[in-house]
Amino acid sequence: MVVVASPRDPILDRSGKRRALPLAVLREATWLLREPGSGTREIITQLLLPHLQHLRQGIEFGNSEAIKRAAAGGLGLTCLSRYVARPGGRRRRRRGV
């Protein structure tokens, strides 16, 4: 699982290097989530929620492709499997954090 954001998201390091994000930054972020009951949502709840105490929920989606597009458009952060988050084609429109 990777946290995914638009390459233009202000939380990202402009040098292009991956870095650990402070928990405070992740707590304040708007999160794009799958619907309750989905496997991805359960993993996020199990892995992130204990560290963040809460998720500031933005939009809830019924599929991962919609979440990828919303994250690429700068609507918030999300957490997806590396396989799902992998950009399609040559243009890189979102970046793993």
What confidence score (pLDDT) does residue 8 get?
86
CB 13, CB 19: distance < 8 Å: yes
CA distance 61 to 55: 15
pLDDT tens string 18-72: 677 889 989 999 999 999 999 989 998 899 999 999 889 899 999 999 999 999 9
CA distance 67 to 82: 14
Strand order in the sheet with 78-80: 78-80, 2-5, 95-96
* 89: pLDDT strictly greater than 60: no
The superfamily CATH assigns to domain 2-96 is Periplasmic binding protein-like II (3.40.190.10)
Q: Which residues contact 17 (CB under 8 A, 6 or more apart)?
A: none
pTM: 0.80
